[in-house]
Amino acid sequence: MKQLTFVLLLLTLHFFSTAQTSRKTINVSDDLQLFRITDHTWVHVSVSEIAGFGSVSSNGVIFINKGKAFLFDTPVTDSLTEMLVRIISDSLKSKLVGFVPNHWHEDCMGGLKYLQSIGIESYANQMTIEEAKKRNLPVPANGFADSLHLELAGKPIKCWYPGGGHTIDNIVVWLPDEKVLFAGCMLKEMKSKTLGNLADADIKSWPGTIGKVIRKYKNVEIVIPGHGLWGGPELLKHTRELLTKNN
């Protein structure tokens, strides 16, 4: 519990020190918080036990426009995902209409079974779908090979597969109107000294993948990793430096 309190304290301090409009935090429970980072974008931070790693804090994104919401990554469990969906409805006054996971790990799509049970449309990299089938996990309904362009009440959502990294299937989500990039676990927070879990990593491709992301999103302002504190483009450069040291 002390570790969880410290993590949430760091996130709260980081949130209030970031120069964004319409700041707001929603404390749902000891294991779930929401942070507003732009007028239309929230980061959900959940804490769950992950086998081999203990208590882990994970990030995901909620994009909201005109009473509708899109979710990028779920908490690890169905119960936390159900709680998150309820908050989207009750506190954010929005109806969840779609979901995209960053990759196949449980800290990205552990709550997909619940989302499917309430009829939420899901989209994923086709490689993620194949991994889910191979591992007997819940399977996203709609696949894409390279990129996917969606709209949320007129606001664009752009999903892109730049190559392997943390996993062979990891994607990024770009919200151009917000200048927000959710890169998930292929990026490390600034205080990270290691690359974390490499059990399913594509180490050979990872540096080139980060390079593609840096070149493609030159006007990004907010970059969100899969775990830890979000920031700006410096997270991309920091991860590339860690990869250089690792190789």
| 162 within some domain | yes
| 13 within some domain | no
From the candidates 105, 108, 125, 169, give the one annotated as an active-site residue.
Answer: 105
Number of folded domains in the chain?
A: 1
pTM: 0.90
Instruction: Find the CATH number of the domain harbouring 201.
Output: 3.60.15.10
Give catalytic status of residue 105 as yes or no. yes
Give catalytic status of residue 188 as yes or no. yes
Give catalytic status of residue 166 as yes or no. yes
pLDDT tens, per residue, the chain with 247 residues: 434 444 444 444 444 444 333 458 999 998 999 999 999 999 999 998 877 667 889 999 999 999 999 999 999 999 999 999 999 999 999 999 999 999 999 999 999 999 999 999 999 999 999 999 999 999 999 999 999 999 999 999 999 999 999 999 999 999 999 999 999 999 999 999 999 899 999 999 999 999 999 999 999 999 999 999 999 999 999 999 999 887 6
pLDDT the model gives residue 21: 37
| 136 within some domain | yes
Q: Which domain holds residue 210?
A: 2-8+18-246
Give catalytic status of residue 107 as yes or no. yes
| 197 within some domain | yes
From the candidates 159, 170, 197, 238, give the one annotated as an active-site residue.
Answer: 197
pLDDT the model gives residue 155: 98
Place of tokens 């302002």: 221
Give catalytic status of residue 185 as yes or no. yes
